[in-house]
Structure 1
C-alpha cells in the first residue's frame, strides 16, 4: 500500500501535531487497542478530569484510517442495548479546526431513560461516538433523520394515511440532507431544532441547554445572510428560518417568539414570488408552511398575502398537479376539502384585520361606519356559509366510507365522551373547520352584540369548542400538526366556554402540551368570554360613538331662550 501511495503514507497524521507515519504507527496502535476489551478503549477515550461533565477532548495518540475502520466494525454492538450500567458521557462534534467538542452531555441521565424513550431514541442515546470514528456529517444526518421521523412518522396504513390532504413537514425535511453539511446557518438551525424537540419530548433538559447556543449562533448567521441579497433568497436561508420558528414553538413558552420567525418566513416566501414555489423542494416547503403563515397573519391581525390573485393561482395549480399525480392516497373528496378550506381560511386574516380597523375605514369621506360594519358582516356570513357547505360534503363522504368520527366513553369527569378519527388528516380537517367557525361567529357577534342572531352564533361556537375538547386526546397523538392546531382551537374555545370546570380543563391541557409537545402552548393570549376580540370590540364602539356625535351635529339646534 505504501509503495503505491508514498506521498500519502509519509504525510503527518492531521490534527494531532505528531510527525508519525501511516505505515509505522498503524500496527502498533491496532496491537495496543483493538485486542483490549471495549471498556479499556472507553477509558482511554474519556476526558482526564472526572469532575467536569463537559470537556473538550483530543486524543493523545495518532490515528490511522485503517484503524478507524477496524475499530468502527468492533463498535457494531453500540447500536444495540448496552448490558453494562455505565452512563453516557457525551456525544462529540468536530469543528473546522478538527477540535472535538461535546454536542450534548448526558452524564446525569438516568438509566430509566430507556423506559421513557422510543427504541430509536434509545439506540441513539446508547451510541458512543469517539474521535477515532468521528464523522460530523453523519451525526448531522442522524439528528435530522431522528427529528424528521419524530414529527412526521410514516403512516402504517397507507390506505388511510391521509398524507395528501395536509402535507406535513416530512416532505421538505426529507430533502434537507442534500443541503446540509455545506451551509453553517442551516446546519446550526438543524442541530438546534432537533435537540430542542428531542429534549422537550423526552424530558431531557441537557438537550435543551445544548440547543440554546446553537440557536444563538443560527440567529447571528441568519442576520448576516439576510444582509446579503443573494443568500437572503436562497433555499438554505428560508429553510433555516422555518426551522428556527419550529425551535421557538418547541423551546420558548412565548407565542411572540415563533410569530416573529413565522412572519420572517412569510416575508421571504412572498419576496421569492409564487413562481419559485411551483415545483420540487420549494413547493413542498410552501405546502407544509402555508397553514402556519395564515395562522400568523390571523394572530398579527394583518392581511395574508396568500389571498392575492397570483398566490391563489399557485395554490390552484399545485392542487391540480397533485390531483393528477400519484400523491393522492385517500378519497378525492378529502383532498379537495383540504384545498377548499385553505381558500376560505386565508380570508379570515383579512376579515379580522378589517374588523379591527373600522375606525380607520370609517374616517374616509366615502365610507361610513355603518356601511363598513355591514360589509364585514356580509363577508363573514359568506365565509361561514361556504365553510359549513364544504364541511357538510366532507361529513357525507366520510360517513359513506365509514370513516367518520367515533365517539367513545372516557374516564374524564369534565368530558365523558371523546372522539377518535381514522387518521390525523381527517381529525385536522374537522378541527380546522371548528376553529374557523368559532372565529367567524365571534366576529359576527362583535359586529352586532345585541342582534337577534348573536346568541345563536355563540351557541354554535360553543358546540364547536366542545367538539375540539373531545378531540384533544386524539390530536395530541400527532407529533406536530395535531398539537399545533389543537392549541389554537383550544384557545379559541376559551372565548366561548364559560363554566370554570371546562375552562380549567382547557388550561390544564394547554399546559400539558406545553410540557411535552410545544412549549408555546403554556403561555399566550388567552381569550376572555367577556371580551374575546378586544381590538374589534374597541373599533366597533369607537365607530358607534363617532356616528352618535355625527348625528347629533346634524340635528337642528334651537336657541335656548331664558326667562318668560
Structure 2
C-alpha cells in the first residue's frame, strides 16, 4: 500500500487541480462554476509493488501465506440494555495437509528421536504374536495348544489370565535363552503371583465361571510341565489339570459356545482322560450330553476331523480301565467277557481312525520313510510326517491300540485259537515299533512341542524288552528336560508302575483306603512318592 492522499477534495476539483473548500453536498468552486461535483477520491492509493528478485526468504514467506478464515463459530453471546449484543467468536481456517516427502528424502528415513514405550498388556500381546511366527517350530508358543492363539485379544480383561500369561511368557523367554526356569527367582515370584490371582478369581462368583479363569488354570499346568512352577520334588501338573477338568465339569456342556471356550473344551479331553485314569473313575466327557458338543467351526481339514473323533473315543478309555481294575481286584464281581466285549467295541470305534492312519502310511505323501539322522540302532529307519497333527494322531492311535490289544489278550477265553493271541501279539509289537520310529520326527519341536510323544511311549513301555525300555526311558528324559526331577518321575521303577496302571494292573494300595472314593488316586500318589524316594536312594 503506497501513495497516501491526505486531501478530501472532490473529484472535479482534483481533476481541475484547483483548491476545494470541501463543502457538502456541492463544493463552492463547483457551485460557482455550475459544474457537477463528483465524489471524493479515496485517500488510499493501491499500486503494484516493485518486482523483487526471487530469494529463498521470499519463497518461504509466500508459502506461509494464511488461508482465509472459512469457519466462524459463535462461542457465547450477551445482550446489553440498549439492545446491543456482545459475541465471542472463533475464527478458524482449514488445516493444510503436510507435503508428502519422497521415499529417498533423508527426513522421512530418519528414526524417531524417542520411541513410545509399551504398556505391560501391549508387551505381552507383542511377545505372544512374535512367538507364533518364530523360526524354530519348537519355540513357538502356539505349538503347546491351539487355544493359545486366541489369548492375545483377551489380555487386559482378566487379572488371573494376565498373570498366568506373564508367568508363561517369562518361562518361555528363559527356555529360549537356554536357562532352566526352575532356577530363576523372577519366575518363582511370577508363579506365586499367578496363584494368588487365580485364588481371587475362583473366589469371585462371576469370575470363577469365566473362560478366562479356565484358561488361566490350564496355562499354569503348562508352566508346570516346562519347569516354571513349583520348585519341590513333585510338580503340580496333575493338580492344575484336575482343577481345569473340575471347572469344565462345573460349567456344563451348554457353556461351551464361543470359539475360545470350545478350544479349551477340546484341550480338556486329554486332561480329563489322564485325571480320570489316575483317580480310577469314568470320564464325564463320555456322557451323551458332552459328546453332542459340536466343534465343526474348529475343523478345517480331514486331519482335524480325525483328531476330533480320536479325542471323543479316547474319553471311553478310563471307564474300561476302571472295569479291568475292578475285575482283577474282585473277579467274582465282574464277568471277564463283559470287559472283552467293551474292549472290542472300543476297538471297532477306532476303525475309521485306523483306516485313516493306514491310508496316510500307504500313500507315500503324508508319511515317508527316511534313514535315521542319528544312526540309531533301535530305529535305523524313521517316519517323516507331513504335519505335527498327523504325527500326534498316529502315535496316540498306536499307543491306545497297544493298551486295547493287551486288555483283549488278557481277558480272551483260554480256549481261543492260538492264532488269535498271535495276531494280537504281532499288532502290539508292530504298534510299538511305529511309535519308536516316530520319535525322531518330534525332536524338531523341542523343547515345547514334544509332549505329544510322552503318553504313547509310556503305553509302549509295558511288555517291551529291556533294551526297548531303556531306550524309551532316555527318550522320555529328553522330552521332560525342563521338568524338575524328570529322571525320578520317569525312572525305571516309576515307568513300570505307570505303564501297568494304564492297563489296569493291580497296584499297591495303603491299608484302610480301599473303600474310599479316591482310593486309586491315593495309591497312585503313594506309589509315585515311594518310587521317587527309591530312585533318590539309588
What is residue 118 of structure 1 aligned with on the other side? none
Give the Cα–Cα distance (whole angstroms) in 1 for the partners of residues 334 and 267 of structure 2.
39
> What's the CA shift string for 1:131-172, capped at 9, x where partnerless?
x9462222222343355556996999xxxxxxxxxx966653
2: CA distance, partners of 1:312 / 1:351: 17
Which residue number corresponds to residue 127 of structure 1? Answer: none
Higher helix proportion: 1
User: Which residue of structure 1 aligns with residue 469 of structure 2?
Assistant: 503
Q: How far apart in 1 are the matches of 2:502 and 2:361?
A: 38
Pick from 513, 520, 543 the counterpart of residue 479 of structure 2: 513
**Match of residue 275 from structure 1:** 254
User: Relative to 1, partners in 2 of residues 1:513 and 1:201: Cα closer, same or farther, differing over 3 Å?
Assistant: farther
Q: 1:73 aligns with which of 81, 95, 112?
A: 112
* Residues in 1 aligned to 2:203 and 2:368: alpha-carbon distance in whole angstroms: 50
CA distance 1:472–1:535, change in 2 (3 Å) = closer
**Contact 1:359 1:369 (8 Å CA) reproduced:** no
TM-score, normalization by structure 2: 0.63
SS of match in other structure, 2:166:
helix
Unpaired runs of 5+ residues, structure 1, are: 1-70, 77-131, 157-166, 363-367, 540-564
Q: For residues 212 and 155 of structure 1, do their structure 2 counterparts lie closer, same or farther at Cα, with a shift above 3 Å needed?
A: closer
Q: CA deviation at 1:381?
A: 1.7
**CA deviation digits over 1:461-519, x for unaligned, max 9?**
232122211111112323688512201111222212113x3222222211122225x56
The alpha carbon displacement at 1:264 in A equals 0.8
- Are 2:354 and 1:386 aligned? no
Superposition deviation, residue 348 in structure 1:
0.8
**Rounded Cα–Cα distance in structure 2 between residues aligned with 1:244 and 1:536:** 29
Going from structure 1 to structure 2, the CA distance change for 1:170 and 1:415 (only over 3 Å counts) comes to closer
Aligned to 1:91: none
Q: Is 2:343 the counterpart of 1:343?
A: no
Cα distance 1:449–1:203, how it changes in 2: closer, same or farther (>3 A)?
Answer: farther
Residues 1:203 and 2:178 are matched in the alignment: yes
Residues 170, 437 of structure 1: alpha-carbon distance in 2 compared, 3 angstrom cutoff = closer
Which of residues 281, 284, 292 is equivalent to 1:302?
A: 281
- Alpha-carbon distance change, 377 to 208 in structure 1, aligned in 2, over 3 angstroms: farther
C-alpha distance in 2 between matches for 1:230 and 1:341: 34
Residues 98-156 of structure 1, C-alpha deviation per residue, up to 9 Å, x if partnerless? xxxxxxxxxxxxxxxxxxxxxxxxxxxxxxxxxx9462222222343355556996999
Tell me if the contact between 2:167 and 2:190 (Cα under 8 Å) persists in the aligned partners.
yes
Alignment of 1:29-48 (within 5 A): none
Match of 1:418, SS?
strand
Aligned twin of 1:23: none
d(CA) in 2 for partners of 1:310, 1:520: 40
Look up the match of 2:128.
144
SS at match of 2:480: helix
1:148/1:403 CA distance change after superposition, 3 Å: closer
Secondary structure of the 1:419 match is strand
Superposition TM-score, scaled by structure 1 size: 0.60
2:325 aligned to which of 356, 379, 400: 356
Larger Cα-atom Rg? 2
Cα drift, residue 208 of structure 1: 4.0
Which 10-residue stretch deviates more, 341-350 or 427-436?
A: 341-350
Aligned-partner Cα distance in 1 for 2:329–2:478: 41
Residues 468 and 489, structure 1, Cα contact 8 Å, conserved in 2 = yes
Query: Structure 2 vs 1, CA of residues 460 and 420 (structure 1 numbering), >3 Å: closer, same or farther?
Result: same
Could you tell me which residue of structure 1 aligns to residue 495 of structure 2? 527
How many residues align structurally? 387
Which deviations, in whole Å up to 9, do the C-alpha atoms of 1:339-384 show, x marking residues without a partner? 332232111111112222237876xxxxx4352x221111112222
| Contact 1:302-1:350 within 8 A present in 2 as well | yes
Question: Are the equivalent residues in 2 in contact too, given 1:231–1:237 (CA < 8 A)?
Answer: yes
Residue 256 of structure 1, CA deviation: 5.7
Q: What is the correspondence of 1:140-289 to structure 2 with a 5 Å cutoff?
A: 140-149=124-133, 171-205=146-180, 208-251=184-227, 257-289=236-268
Runs of 4+ with >4 A deviation? 146-156, 167-171, 252-256, 359-362, 448-456, 479-482, 518-523
Q: Could you report, residue by residue, the CA deviation over 1:234-292 in whole angstroms, capped at 9, with x for unpaired residues?
A: 12211110111111111169776211111111111121112221232212222234333
Are 1:431 and 2:395 matched, yes or no? yes
Alpha-carbon deviation of 1:425? 1.5
- Aligned residue for 1:244, secondary structure, equals helix
Quote how far apart the aligned CAs of 1:194 are. 1.8
Cα distance in 1 for residues equivalent to 2:399 and 2:448: 14
- CA drift at 1:431: 0.5
Q: Which moved more, 1:526-535 or 1:180-189?
A: 526-535
